[in-house]
A and B are shown apart, each in its own frame.
Chain A
Amino acid sequence: MIPLVRVDNRLLHGQVLEAWMPRLGATTVVVADDEAALSPLARAAMTLCVPCEIPARIEKLAAVDFAALADSTAVVLLLVRDVAGLVEATTRGLTPARAPLLNLGNVHFATGRRPVTPSVYLTGEELEALKRLAAAGFRIEARAVPTEAPVGLDELERRYAAAR
């Protein structure tokens, strides 16, 4: 099963390993990212930070078999780098039935992005893409760590409109 798909610009880091993995009882972490999969440095560093009892897989997005992950008995935390990665995953077999919950963890600031939570800055196109994913049946929330209150899509839209 895939209880959570997380969007995080930094992919694997402390918030994921110390907060989300124990909360979800995750037994496997899958990083679906082309850049990380193709970088020996990224692979070495990520292998280094994951405890040895938790298998970490770093794969190109196109190589991830979402159906197999959803059907397996392993509890999988799936990481993608950005909203575009999320959208691409849904075109390659990620469905609400396989992974109902999409989490926006860290989406860093860049010119043209507006703050919707302290750690998430969105563009208008990303917000539209998220609305399409919600319409397709995914539940969408933004929060960095599980102890924070989740912010839903309606609230994200309101904050985006209010932000300048």
Chain B
Amino acid sequence: MTIRLRTRAHVFWRCLFLQAAWNRRGMQNLGFAYAIEPALDALYEDPVRREEALARHLGFFNCHPYMAAAILGGAIHHEERVAAGEEPGAAPLSYKATLQGPLAAVGDGFFWTALRPFFGAMAALGALVAGWPAVVAAVLLYNLVHFTLRAVLFGAGYRQGDAVVGVIANLALPRVAEHLRSAGVALCGAAAAAVALRASGVAPGTENAAVLVVAAAAGAGYLALAKGTPLFPAAYLVALSGTIMAAVTGWDGRP
């Protein structure tokens, strides 16, 4: 039997809370079991089989929270076959165990190290140019992309089961990520230049000095990162220096 769209939507809604009960022993296990529960309720009328199904989804699970939507969809795909007697109860578990690591790696690489920094940089530059509404717009855009991908992954997992891997391969996320990273870096550079030029505008006659400082900071930053300085301390140091510079040059932060 197949479960109704309404039930699948319910599961999708619950998968947004995948990490709400994150714990060291099972990591996202409780979140996963909670999310898939409406589907299991629909598939198993016998309370004993229903309990058994829910219990098997309480085992260890950890993945990228967005990519996990594909696995959740695929787990329902397999549970439908288990309920129909076509597959053993271990089938959804082996599906989860096999895909959680590789999809986590894809998700970390695409969402955490490319898409989110890109929209963060866009928000920073937008705030300098257009003020706070740009930050709201960047958050909305980010989530539009994120929710669309989550829904696509969930649907592909449910309909295609194991073939979801091919669907994800066709999205070419690592290649898109490369472009997003380059674009994000360019946006960061533009934001830094905007800060310095604004500061120089407040104190007349400092435009040339500002351009030099921006160039020196960009050069020093590149060298430091190329020599293996950790990214986060370097980024915080740069942000702190920028704030101090803005204070010294008398920029009050208003666009």
Residues of A within 8 A of B (CB): 8-14, 16-18, 36, 39, 41-42, 44-46, 48-52, 108-109, 115, 118-119, 121, 147
Cβ-defined partner of A13 (8 Å) among B100, B113, B174: B100
Contact present for B24 and A118 (CB under 8 Å): yes
Contact present for A109 and B25 (CB under 8 Å): yes
State A49–B99 Cα separation when bound (angstroms): 10
Give B100's nearest chain A residue, CB to CB. Answer: A10
State A52–B173 Cα separation when bound (angstroms): 12
Contact present for B108 and A41 (CB under 8 Å): no
Q: Does B107 contact A (CB under 8 A)?
A: yes
Contact present for A41 and B168 (CB under 8 Å): no
Q: Does B17 contact A (CB under 8 A)?
A: no
Chain B 8-62 residues near chain A, CB threshold 8 A: 24-26, 60, 62
Contact present for A18 and B24 (CB under 8 Å): no
Give A44's nearest chain B residue, CB to CB. Answer: B165
Give B113's nearest chain A residue, CB to CB. Answer: A18
Contact present for B165 and A109 (CB under 8 Å): no
Q: How many residues of chain B are within 8 Å of chain A by beta carbon?
A: 29
**Neighbouring A residues of B108 by C-beta, 8 Å:** 13-14, 17-18
Contact present for B102 and A13 (CB under 8 Å): yes
Cβ-defined partner of B26 (8 Å) among A14, A17, A51, A109: A109
Contact present for A48 and B62 (CB under 8 Å): no
Starting from the known contacts A49-B102, A115-B24, A121-B25, 9 additional A-B residue pairs (CB-CB under 8 Å) come to A8-B101, A12-B102, A13-B100, A13-B104, A18-B113, A39-B94, A45-B165, A48-B168, A109-B26
State A36–B98 Cα separation when bound (angstroms): 8
**Neighbouring A residues of B213 by C-beta, 8 Å:** none
Contact present for B25 and A48 (CB under 8 Å): no
**Neighbouring B residues of A8 by C-beta, 8 Å:** 101
Contact present for B104 and A10 (CB under 8 Å): yes
Shortest beta-carbon distance, A94 to chain B, in Å?
22
Q: Does B64 contact A (CB under 8 A)?
A: yes
**Neighbouring A residues of B109 by C-beta, 8 Å:** 14, 17-18, 49
**Neighbouring A residues of B101 by C-beta, 8 Å:** 8, 10-13, 45-46, 49
Shortest beta-carbon distance, B153 to chain A, in Å?
13
Give B166's nearest chain A residue, CB to CB. Answer: A44
**Neighbouring A residues of B105 by C-beta, 8 Å:** 12-14, 16-18, 49-50
Contact present for A45 and B98 (CB under 8 Å): yes
